[in-house]
Amino acid sequence: MLRSKSFVKRTRKGNIVRTVKEHYLRDDISCGYEQCGHPVCVKARQDAAEHGRHSVDGVQTAAPLSCTPRDSEKWGRHYLIPDTNAFINQIDIFERPIINNVVVLSTVLDELRGLSMAVYNRVRAIVREHERRWFVFSNEHHRETFIDRSAGETPNDRNDRAIRVAVKWYANHLSNTGIAALMVTNDEGNLKKAKEDGVESCRMDEYLAIFTEHPELLDMMGSVSITDRESGDSRWGGYPEYLSPVQVQAGIKAGMLVQGTLQIAAYNYLEGSIYTTFPDGKERSVLILGRMDMNRAIQGDKVAVQILPKSQWRKAPSAALVDEDEDSVPDVDEKKKSDEKAARDPAVVPGDADKSVEGRARKRARVAAEKSTPAAAGDTAADSEDGLCVKPAEITDETLEAEDGEITGRVVGIVRRNWRSYCAFLDPNFAPKGPRASNAPTSVSVLAMDRRIPKIRIRTRQVDVLAGQRILVAIDAWPKESRYPQGHFVRALGDAGDKATETEVLLLEHDVPYQPFTKSVRADLPSEGANWVFDPDRDLVTAGRRTDLRHLNVCSIDPPGCTDIDDALHAVPLPNGNFQVGVHIADVTNFVKPNTAMDKEAAHRSTTVYLVDRRIDMLPELLGTNLCSLMSNVDRLAFSCIWELDPDANIVNVTFHKSVIHSKASLTYEEAQNRMDDPSMQDDITKNIRNLNMLAKKLRKRRTDAGALTLSSPEVRFRLENDSQDPVDVEMKALKETNALVEEFMLLANISVAQKIYESFPDSALLRRHPQPPPQNFDNLQHALKPLGIELETGSSLALAQSLDRAVLPSDPYFNNLLRILTTRCMMQAQYFCSGTCTPEEFRHYGLATGIYTHFTSPIRRYADVMVHRLLHAAIDRQVVFGPELTDKVKMSEQSDVLNHRHRMAQQASRSSVELYTNLFFKGKTVEEPGYVTQILQNGFGVLIPSYGIEGVVYTSDKDKKDVPAVLQYDQESHTLVSADKSSSVGLFQRVRVVLQVDDKPVSANVSSMRRKLGLRLTEPQIPGVSMTPEELGALKAATGKTLSKADEDQVVELVTKHPEQVTTI
């Protein structure tokens, strides 16, 4: 049966057009019950069997619904049919394997696609798990279940009615089987109408009550209201209302508001910032200080921000807040409110902010703002300096002059939420008041492992069970009446402090996909498995579309233990005195075809993640460490970039080829270095390495002369014990000349490929850019360098590179390296982008001093390189057939955002893994080491310990004595911390000595123990009230009984976080 739908819509140009869509209604759609005797359902199963889709793991693909679904006293045997509301609010519950035999209606899927692609994708993923026995029923295309929208009926009401009609059809269709169709919803209106229509239905909590063996399911119910009055916080006045979306967009368009992604400071959860483009076209940071001005925004949210008057801009650095500053005090503690104000204004003493004249004036202004009514559409409301609610002034150059402090603002609207599931733990300070039933839900606060996330209020029946455990929670809402967001329990992860649990926590916290590859992904691997071999006919050598380079003396140079070898090189002297140089990269795209399950999974993962004790692969191991890996003495497919270089390393020409190579040697950096240094070695491979090294030095000099930066970062690796994989040693790593050799030719290949793909795909090339940092990023660093007679020139990368080279202190050999580490922190983040979304002037990579750049050389571990390989293949081979994945700049840009997110998360996960093993390594030990001051805070300073590459904070105030002022106070003029009598001070670059120690209290003892961190205590210089006395240090060492001797330090091995692929899983 064919029906036609017509509707009108407005085009981008503003024209009104009528669109007609044909809608087919069928009577041959199966119900999905595996033993249904209806002729239509029988035929569907037969057709599936004839086409080879009969069953997967014993489950019929055309009819997965079991004949023995869950049985309950109330509903008997039944299939569950959730409505859209149930999926949106309870998707965490539906993902539990115990919820099976579920019918997903096409009406519900269509609604989910429009409401939440994240939930839609999660439902689709469950449907693909055949053992779950979920079935998608196309009720919108079934003749007996499709309904028209009635006159005056809203689309939502029509869809709810369609769901009820489909449930009723199922009940009638299965009436002779003894299996009921049960609709589950939390929509009271839909539930009421279902009862009136005689449709079997229930609320989600009613349904979960039948799972008596899984009481935690009720804790996973979302959208539970927990008011602050419930917790005794009756004095809480609430947050300001958000502006409407219309007001936000109008304010941004008018230049009165700015928008950006909220980033919370690592050391201060009350300090956030956005980096955004202002109406004048310049990019700047805007500080957002305190919970009130953050206004319910959470780390990662895209927010609309109003710039505050200059009198409220911050004029002092951030304070470092320890866990107890927020978490061990009651929610209504007035001192906390004043500390938020003190964080903005150094003139206000913490704990006494509202007693100052300015503090009282600002409090009146805030109350006025909170009581004001929402502005009219298109207007925005703001606080003036006298507390009146007025329309904000347009942001101008005068508004943004920086001599009055750092630009500061407040959140007035949410553009897009970025909520996710959070790893957390029950507040150890929580104690239920009064008697409670063992199964009664209790309102509790949970604290996220990420200190940047505020407390989350949940209800749980498992308070006693979950104490001392890591748990996963999700945020449901943050009403303006609630001090903290409201959420629900998702699942328990394990005991706090357990190594496996903590590793899973860091993977979840950094959004790293770590589950095993699915069967559908593995099905895309070559059927020959590890027995796959090169075939000249199949692999297009015979057809002339792949070049045979197996005669070349190709070799690879990698870290020890490397199995996923992405790249190999060769260099051949030419008769004309020039050199043929080749970079050969694993041809991953030969095995990973577009839009396959494996390709989609690789695009989702985006990168391989390297932890201290393991590697989370982007591709299945068969490809990454075998068929794609360019190991020696075996034929492997490659993508080759081959130059002719003159003796000065200038490019004469470059060509690109799909190729087959036969590597003659797989060398480590050290082995390659030893070959170069040994004059007795004159074999072809060694000669090639020497030629490559000679050319690499010239390439490097040319890059540095052009302004390429040589920056630095602390690097540390661990040696793991064979059985327990506990860290037994740690050290810094030194780079060899061969490291630079490989790096230079990888950079050259990336630049050459970037030029080629941009030439062929000017609107959709995937490139990588590194924006120039704004001068204000260097302000604090410049201030600290001034007394040393050193100035960084930041006008260009060349000027910065030259000034870094000159910045040497003869008395301190480590100073230049330290300066480069701090300069690295002033840089902007490099980003993937689609060429059609930026101007050519914005393509530049500041750090590498090149006008165009991309990633081509690591397709085994980076999906960006896979995309670039496809672009390059299409550029050099006109017979290549490609689709919109290479030409759609919108899709390319969306994937770029995923790549940037995954790359950033992978780096942070690697650092967190190092931090975890650092804490394990130093547990129970007392170590005193020299360090350097790297950061100045209001109540402390950051210290880097070069011997371990470890950094932490030394606090200058006692967290247990909150009413006692800090011994050292911030001096704005010198950007130092100074004692009241001026006898002691701490500034950037200062050499100090500190004690490193991990808290040995039970994990659940307090908040700090649950977030176990490495602690630093100052021993030199001796500052009364801050430094440990020699007696305290001696007593501490005697109590722990464990110290690291010089002999211990001499045993450390070569492991480094900057190149974590070198970590060998033991």
Tens digits of per-residue pLDDT, 166-190? 999 999 999 999 999 999 998 889 9
Give dist(CA 200, CA 207) in Å, integer: 12
- Burial class from Cβ neighbours inside 10 Å (0-12, 13-18, 19+) for residue 989 reads buried
Give the pLDDT of residue 388.
Answer: 26
Selected from 3.40.50.920, 2.40.50.700, 3.30.70.20, 3.40.640.10, the CATH number assigned to the domain covering 421-498 reads 2.40.50.700
- Categorize the per-residue pLDDT at 802 as very low, low, confident or very high, splitting at 50, 70 and 90: very high
Give dist(CA 900, CA 897) in Å, integer: 5
> What are residue 290's phi and psi, to 5 degrees?
90, 155
In the numeric block, which tokens belong to residue 1006? Answer: 């307090």
Question: If one looks up domain 22-214 in CATH, what number appears?
Answer: 3.40.50.1010
Q: Which of 262-271, 752-761, 941-950, 1007-1016 has the highest mean pLDDT?
A: 752-761
Selected from 3.40.50.720, 2.40.50.690, 2.40.50.140, 3.40.190.10, the CATH number assigned to the domain covering 245-416 reads 2.40.50.690
Separation of CA 979 from chain center:
40
CA distances from 816 to 211, 523, 778, 790, 820 (A): 64, 52, 16, 11, 6
Q: Are 923 and 929 in contact (CB under 8 A)?
A: no
Give dist(CA 772, CA 775) in Å, integer: 9
Which residue spans of the chain are classified as CATH 3.40.50.1010? 22-214
- Categorize the per-residue pLDDT at 222 as very low, low, confident or very high, splitting at 50, 70 and 90: low
* Nearest Cα to Cα of residue 922 among 975, 863, 872, 996: 996
Which residue spans of the chain are classified as CATH 2.40.50.690? 245-416
Give dist(CA 44, CA 29) in Å, integer: 8
Give dist(CA 350, CA 364) in Å, integer: 19
H/E stretch holding 274 reads: strand 271-277
Q: Are 763 and 835 in contact (CB under 8 A)?
A: yes
H/E stretch holding 76 reads: strand 76-82
At residue 912, does pLDDT exceed 90?
A: no
Contacts for 438 with CB less than 8 Å, ≥ 6 apart: 461
Compute the C-alpha angle 102/105/108, nearest 5°. Answer: 110
Give dist(CA 534, CA 549) in Å, integer: 13
> What are residue 795's phi and psi, to 5 degrees?
-65, -30
Least confident of 322-331, 611-620, 895-904: 322-331
> Per residue in 365-395, pLDDT tens?
333 333 333 333 333 333 333 332 334 556 6
Q: Are 495 and 426 in contact (CB under 8 A)?
A: no
Give the pLDDT of residue 280.
Answer: 80
In the numeric block, which tokens belong to residue 519? Answer: 């069967």
Between 224 and 446, the more confident residue is 446
- Categorize the per-residue pLDDT at 463 as very low, low, confident or very high, splitting at 50, 70 and 90: confident
In the numeric block, which tokens belong to residue 139? Answer: 């009720």
Give dist(CA 95, CA 1006) in Å, integer: 33
Give dist(CA 98, CA 126) in Å, integer: 12
Query: Parallel, antiparallel, or unpaired for β 302-307 and 1014-1020?
Result: unpaired
Give dist(CA 977, CA 985) in Å, integer: 5
In the numeric block, which tokens belong to residue 446? Answer: 């949970």
SS3 assignment, position 116: coil
Between 336 and 834, the more confident residue is 834
Architecture of the domain spanning 926-1043: Beta Barrel (2.40)
Crossing angle (nearest 10°) for helices 684-706 and 737-760: 70
What mean pLDDT do residues 1004-1011 have? 59
pTM exceeds 0.85 for this model:
no
**CB neighbour burial string for 857-884, b if at least 16 within 10 angstroms, e if fewer:** bbbbbbbbbbbbbbbbbbbbeeeeeeee
Contacts for 238 with CB less than 8 Å, ≥ 6 apart: 370, 480, 481, 482
Which runs of consecutive H residues, i.e. helices, occur in 345-445? 357-371
Q: Are 393 and 382 in contact (CB under 8 A)?
A: no
Q: How many other CB atoms are there within 10 angstroms of residue 440's CB atom?
A: 11
Give dist(CA 566, CA 587) in Å, integer: 9
Least confident of 59-68, 712-721, 879-888: 712-721
Kindly state the percentage of the chain with pLDDT values over 70. Answer: 80
Give dist(CA 184, CA 91) in Å, integer: 13
